[in-house]
Structure formats: C-alpha cells, structure tokens
C-alpha cells in the first residue's frame, strides 16, 4: 500500500489526525519537499512529532527513478508532501506509476495554498482561472531572459474575467532562494513592458506570505506599488484579480488593506 499524505501549509502540526494515524502505522515513510515546503518546521521536528524516520527524496528519486516504490508491494509506505497530496501533477504521475505496478494507493488530503488564498483574501474560489508560475530570470548568451508564459496566462484569464494565482519560483542551487511577492509583481511589470498587450489600467495585485502561520501577511495594492512592499519571510504567492464582485472588493479593503483607488468592482 502506498499512502499519499498532505502535510498542510506551514508546520508539522498542520497534518490531519487521519494523516498522523497513517504515518504512525506506516512501515516506511518518505517525503519530498521540492514541489512545496513547510517553512515553519524542519525535517528533524517532523520526525520528532511523527515518531518516525522520514526519508527525504530528491526530484530524481520521485520523477525519474522511484525505485523505492517496489517497497509498497509488501509494506505500508507513506509518502509525505507539503500542502495537499494531489495538487501537483508530479504526485499524480507517481500514483499512476504505482497503480500500473499493481500497488494499492490511497490519498489523505490536507489544506492547500490553492484554497487558502480565497479564505485569506476574500476572493471567490470559483472565479479563478488557470494558475501559473513566475520563474526567476536566467542568463542566455549574455542576455537576461524572462519567460513570457506567466504573462500570457494572466492576459488570457483577464480576458475571461477570471482571477490568476501565480506561484513564485523556488531556486535550490547554487543557494536556496525564494521569490517574493514584490519580486513577482516587478517581473510581471517587466513582462508588460516587453509586450504589445498591456494589463488593464491600475492592475491590482495581492501578495500573501506565510499562509497557515500566526504571522501570515496579506496585502493588496496596485502592482506598481506592490513591487515595493516588504512581505517578510517565505513562502509567498501572488494573485492578480480580474474585476471584483462588491463583496470581494470589500474583503480586500478589510482583510488585505487595499486602498480605495486600487479596487475596481464589476459593472
């Protein structure tokens, strides 16, 4: 049996009771923290809280050569991931591999940033379109390159009057680095400068930092001003809403400190 267990948003205490029971009954416990990461804890604290040795897997061991899957033929194996267990397509692919090998699987869900953003900001969850990720710029042939895909996804969503959730890049090497919401806002504005199609005048951004923690930060403002806001430590996420329902507008003013001149309601 292979059990996928979501660990929630922030620290070792976010796991569900059902998830904790599944970890306790597992013969072997594996985890990956490259698709997401619990910033409020450490691998050692996870092991102390769960009372089990947690074997951390590399990207290659999950996506390329998951030889450890063979153990789930005869043992109860738990696979731990940050957030919800099946938001990432990486985990779906792994589950399908296991099923193809004749291994029984199950999923124990948990809280995810995908749903938490609605509760923290007041935006209505059914109004979100396709999500995307803003990557760090890179150098190619001496030129700084900013991939355009996030901006194209954003424009597509806005054309359909849908909000956009923008995940922010995590760089592992040569040193660990987490993109901030204000960096993401600045990169979107750079993408706009390089494009013939512009965002609506007064485009709004919402930055969320450390969702699930006691010091979570939610700030809404014009993207041009949000790029200068300090959100503190990671993890961050950026949302660019389409036009707002009046309840969403009121929520952003009350919950995210949005100034009056940054909030545009649906007509």
Over the stretch 123-170, which tens digit does the pLDDT of each residue have? Answer: 999 999 999 999 999 988 889 999 999 999 999 999 999 999 999 999
Per-residue pLDDT, 149: 96
- β 204-209/217-222 pair status: antiparallel
Residues 6 or more apart whose CB falls under 8 angstroms from that of 187 comprise 134, 137, 146, 150
Mind listing the domains of the chain with CATH numbers? 2-111 (3.40.1010.10), 114-262 (3.30.950.10)
Output 175 or 92, whichever has higher pLDDT: 92
pLDDT, residue 199, reads 94
Mean pLDDT of 230-251: 96
Q: What is the pTM of this model?
A: 0.92
Neighbouring CB atoms inside 10 A of 153's CB total 18
pLDDT at 36 over 90: no
Residues in the chain: 267
Task: Determine the 3-state secondary structure of 99 from DSSP.
Answer: helix
CA distance 125 to 151: 21
The angle formed by the CA atoms of residues 239, 240 and 241, to the nearest 5 degrees, is: 110
Q: Is the pLDDT of residue 263 over 90?
A: no
Q: Cis check for the bond before 174: say yes or no (omega within 30 of 0).
A: yes
pLDDT given for residue 266 in this prediction: 65
pLDDT digits (tens, 9 = 90+) for 50-71: 999 999 999 999 999 999 999 9
The pLDDT assigned to 265 comes to 65
Distance CA 164, CA 206 (A): 10
Report how far residue 257's alpha carbon sits from residue 208's, in angstroms, rounded to the nearest whole number: 12
């Amino acid at each position: 049996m292979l059990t996928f267990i979501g660990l929630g948003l922030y620290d070792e205490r976010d796991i569900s009771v059902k998830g904790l029971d599944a970890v306790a009954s597992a013969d072997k416990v594996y985890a990956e923290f490259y698709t997401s990461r619990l910033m409020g804890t450490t691998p050692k604290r996870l092991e102390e809280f769960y009372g089990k040795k947690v074997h951390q897997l590399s990207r290659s061991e999950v996506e390329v050569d998951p030889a450890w899957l063979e153990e789930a033929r005869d043992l109860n194996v738990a696979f731990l991931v940050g957030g919800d267990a099946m938001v990432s397509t990486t985990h779906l692919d792994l589950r399908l591999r296991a099923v193809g090998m004749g291994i029984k699987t199950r999923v124990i869900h948990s809280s995810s940033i995908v749903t938490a953003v609605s509760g923290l900001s007041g935006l209505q969850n059914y109004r979100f379109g396709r999500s995307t990720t803003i990557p760090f710029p890179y150098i190619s042939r001496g030129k700084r390159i900013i991939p355009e895909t996030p901006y194209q996804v954003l424009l597509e969503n806005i054309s359909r009057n849908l909000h956009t959730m923008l995940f922010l890049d995590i760089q592992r090497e040569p040193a660990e680095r987490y993109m901030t919401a204000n960096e993401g806002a600045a990169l979107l504005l750079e993408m706009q400068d390089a494009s013939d199609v512009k965002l609506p005048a007064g485009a709004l951004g919402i930055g969320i930092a450390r969702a699930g923690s006691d010091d979570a930060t939610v700030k809404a403002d014009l993207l041009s001003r949000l790029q200068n806001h300090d959100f503190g430590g990671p993890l961050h996420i950026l949302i660019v809403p389409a036009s707002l329902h009046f309840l969403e507008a009121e929520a952003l003013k009350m919950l995210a400190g949005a100034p009056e001149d940054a909030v545009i309601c649906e007509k």
